[in-house]
Amino acid sequence: MKKIEGVDRILKFLKISFDAKSKMDYKRLEILYNSKLLLGDNEKINYVLGKDFLNLLNKSKENELIEFNSEFGYSITQKGIDFLEENKT
């Protein structure tokens, strides 16, 4: 699968949540995505907010990398885990 700009950060946070046997709501995921967590010292944050962040989540869902449950929130799929492994970002 072709790499989608920004999706890897979403997947990394959801993989951490998955490892903790948890799911993440939209607002928490957006806040973490726009934080310095998981960034190297030389990387800049490219803030993605509101509609643009929602579009990024929708692309991830369309590609079956994540799933959404209205009761529990977002979680990574096995396909998303495999994508992270293949792209080692």
Q: Is the pLDDT of residue 66 over 60?
A: yes
- Do residues 49 and 35 touch, judged by C-beta distance below 8 A? no
Q: Is the pLDDT of residue 1 over 60?
A: no
- Do residues 8 and 87 touch, judged by C-beta distance below 8 A? yes
Q: What are phi and psi of 61, to 5 degrees?
A: -70, -45
Q: Is the pLDDT of residue 89 over 60?
A: no
- Do residues 34 and 21 touch, judged by C-beta distance below 8 A? no
* pLDDT tens-place string over residues 11-49: 999 999 999 999 999 999 999 999 988 887 778 888 899
Residue 78 or residue 89, greater confidence: 78
Counting residues of the chain whose pLDDT is more than 90, the rounded percentage is 66
Q: Cα–chain-centroid distance for residue 23? A: 11
Q: What are phi and psi of 12, to 5 degrees?
A: -60, -45
